[in-house]
């Protein structure tokens, strides 16, 4: 369960910006709130949506959480021992190039709250820390300053041995996971439960390859049917990929990794087989008629993939972060996705979803609380600021959609009349 995430000096984010999923004391709808005794209100939000103008930094909030997850899971196993730490500090202030990027996160595993974070420079991870709150007061599990480690009494295991194995450009938590540290592996399981989706449009081939090792969940087909896509069933066919194509695919992903300065997690099945997925529609005689994904809309293809991940997240009680939830999707489809997380009937294990969106119609969704609405806005120095609607005085029953359109909360591209944008002379 995610409680809080903050980041500083990364991409367009200069000063520390924080996203919180702890429920406020607002008297908004309480249906779907997740019980959690470690936060003051006793409740955690199952969802949050982030609004903002184009290029305001919404996607960079997603990218920051993805970077943190990747560093924890992969910095020790896939980092270049001779290289530094790949990162992208805030570029519009020269001083930020030498300042560290800082990431911090609070989460709950097995009823215990943890706080973890690190500071990264170009050459090394300069600091790293992990605290636990098993019975209220904070307990230090470990603190790291450069290559110097301090371990708390509550952290058992081969701490000294693993710290000796930890490179300057790898995280101790990552090294601990790679070396089967029993206590910390449980903590790392939280980061494995973070699912982050940044694919805006999905081609037919991409969708088929993504589904290579998975059957399509029957709940996905049922959902697609209920929202009117016409899909009632599916079938799949596997074909072996030629050796030449496999080599080309691996070379492409190697180039991408170097470009984005971040390891990619790609299933081996992606390279060795082609899976052709066909979706069935009901014919005039009532019998199913199957179509290749090429003949389906971009929205149907995207839902096919998103819903598979969504139902896995719901089953696991995990966390899903989606960039541009509304890409190729109708408002009602987006609202139905959010409803899966806000309904106790479908979200029985405390799963959470965080989504960026431009769809202002979602602000009228009945399940959306004011403390679940966040905004991003850039200042005159080009730096992203992330803030909740609760920072602005509103009342229960306010027309949030109308207020946002009118610029009352900021985070819009242009505050004046549209006619000013097209005026000439």
72, 140: one domain: yes
| Residue 49, CB-side half-sphere exposure with 13 Å CA sphere | 25
Starting at the earlier edge strand, list the strands of the sheet with 148-151. Answer: 17-20, 2-8, 101-109, 112-120, 125-133, 139-145, 148-151
Instruction: Quote the percentage of the chain above a pLDDT of 90.
Output: 69
Higher pLDDT, 277 or 99: 99
52, 142: one domain: yes
The residue with tokens 């090792």 is: 213
172, 241: one domain: no
In degrees to the nearest 10, what's the CA dihedral of 50, 383, 62, 18? -70
Sorting pLDDT into bands at 50, 70 and 90, what band is 212? very low
Q: Which of 311, 342, 367 delimits the end of a domain?
A: 311
Give the pLDDT score at 131. Answer: 97
328, 264: one domain: no
Q: Does residue 8 have a pLDDT over 60?
A: yes
Q: Which of 261, 285, 311 delimits the end of a domain?
A: 311
Lowest mean pLDDT among 195-204, 293-302, 325-334, 355-364: 195-204
Q: Which of 273, 292, 311 delimits the end of a domain?
A: 311
Q: Does residue 204 have a pLDDT over 60?
A: no
Domain range for 230: 201-311
Please count the structural domains in the chain: 2
Q: Does residue 45 have a pLDDT over 90?
A: yes
Instruction: Report the SS3 class of residue 332.
Output: helix
The residue with tokens 């200042």 is: 379
217, 182: one domain: no
Lowest mean pLDDT among 6-15, 36-45, 291-300: 291-300
Q: Does residue 282 have a pLDDT over 90?
A: yes
Give the pLDDT score at 273. Answer: 61
The residue with tokens 């990747």 is: 70
CATH number of domain containing 161:
3.40.50
Torsion-angle region of 230 (φ positive above 0: left; ψ -120 to 50: alpha; else: beta): left
Residue 296, C-beta contacts closer than 8 angstroms, at least 6 positions apart: 204, 231, 279, 304
Q: Which candidate, 330, 337, 378, places its Cα nearest to that of 355?
A: 337
298, 381: one domain: no
142, 4: one domain: yes
Average pLDDT of the segment spanning 260-268: 66
Q: What's the predicted TM-score (pTM) here?
A: 0.87
Instruction: Report the SS3 class of residue 193.
Output: coil
Instruction: Quote the percentage of the chain above a pLDDT of 70.
Output: 90
108, 175: one domain: yes
Helix or strand holding residue 130 (H, E): strand 125-133
Residue 96 has phi, psi (to 5 degrees) of -70, -20
Sorting pLDDT into bands at 50, 70 and 90, what band is 135? confident
Average pLDDT of the segment spanning 206-223: 71
Give the pLDDT score at 209. Answer: 46
Q: Write the pLDDT tens digit of every residue in 366-423.
A: 999 999 999 999 999 999 999 999 999 998 888 999 999 999 999 888 766 777 767 6
Higher pLDDT, 261 or 59: 59
Average pLDDT of the segment spanning 50-62: 95
When the pLDDT of each residue in the chain is averaged and rounded to a whole number, the result is: 89
Tokens of 133: 């709150």
291, 246: one domain: yes
Q: Does residue 95 have a pLDDT over 90?
A: yes
307, 329: one domain: no
143, 95: one domain: yes
Higher pLDDT, 105 or 266: 105
Q: Does residue 425 have a pLDDT over 70?
A: no
220, 356: one domain: no
Q: Do 9 and 99 form a contact (C-beta atoms < 8 A)?
A: yes
Residue 423, C-beta contacts closer than 8 angstroms, at least 6 positions apart: none
Sorting pLDDT into bands at 50, 70 and 90, what band is 250? confident
Residue 299, C-beta contacts closer than 8 angstroms, at least 6 positions apart: 229, 328, 329, 330, 333
Sorting pLDDT into bands at 50, 70 and 90, what band is 150? very high
Give the pLDDT score at 270. Answer: 61
- Cα–Cα–Cα angle for 196, 201, 206, rounded to 5 degrees: 85
């Amino acid at each position: 369960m995610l409680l809080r995430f903050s980041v500083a000096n990364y991409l367009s984010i200069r000063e520390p910006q924080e996203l919180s999923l702890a429920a406020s004391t607002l008297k908004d709808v309480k249906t779907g709130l997740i019980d959690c005794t470690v936060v003051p209100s006793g409740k955690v939000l199952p969802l949050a949506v982030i609004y903002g103008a184009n290029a305001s930094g919404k996607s960079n909030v997603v990218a920051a959480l993805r970077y943190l997850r990747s560093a924890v899971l992969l910095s020790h196993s896939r980092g270049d021992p001779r290289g530094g730490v790949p990162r992208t500090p805030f570029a519009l202030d020269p001083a930020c190039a030498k300042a560290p990027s800082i990431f911090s996160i609070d989460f709950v595993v097995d009823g215990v709250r943890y706080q973890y974070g690190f500071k990264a420079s170009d050459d090394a991870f300069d600091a790293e820390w992990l605290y636990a709150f098993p019975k209220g007061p904070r307990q230090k599990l470990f603190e790291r300053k450069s290559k110097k480690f301090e371990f708390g009494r509550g952290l058992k295991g081969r701490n000294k041995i693993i710290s000796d194995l930890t490179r300057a450009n790898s995280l101790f938590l990552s090294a601990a996971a790679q070396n089967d540290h029993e206590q910390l592996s449980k903590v790392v399981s939280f980061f494995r439960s973070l699912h982050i989706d940044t694919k805006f449009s999905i081609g037919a081939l991409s969708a088929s390859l993504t589904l290579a090792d998975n059957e399509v969940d029957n709940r996905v087909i049922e959902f697609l049917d209920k929202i009117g896509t016409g899909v009632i069933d599916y079938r799949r066919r596997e074909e072996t990929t030629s050796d030449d194509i496999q080599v080309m695919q691996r070379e492409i992903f190697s180039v991408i990794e170097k470009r984005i300065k971040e390891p990619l997690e790609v299933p081996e099945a992606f390279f060795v087989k082609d899976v052709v997925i066909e979706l069935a529609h009901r014919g005039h005689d009532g019998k199913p008629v199957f179509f290749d994904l090429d003949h389906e809309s971009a929205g149907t293809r995207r839902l096919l993939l998103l819903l598979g991940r969504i139902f896995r997240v719901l089953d696991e009680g995990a966390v899903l972060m989606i960039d541009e939830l509304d890409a190729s999707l109708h408002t009602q489809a987006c609202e139905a996705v959010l409803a899966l997380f806000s309904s106790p009937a479908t979200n029985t294990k405390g799963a959470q979803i965080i989504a960026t969106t431009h769809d202002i119609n979602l602000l009228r969704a009945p399940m959306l609380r004011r403390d679940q609405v966040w905004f991003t806005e850039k200042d005159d120095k080009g730096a992203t600021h992330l803030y909740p609607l609760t920072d602005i005085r509103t009342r229960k029953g306010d027309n949030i959609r109308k207020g946002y359109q009118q610029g009352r909360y900021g985070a819009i591209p242009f505050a004046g009349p549209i006619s000013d944008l097209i005026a000439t002379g």
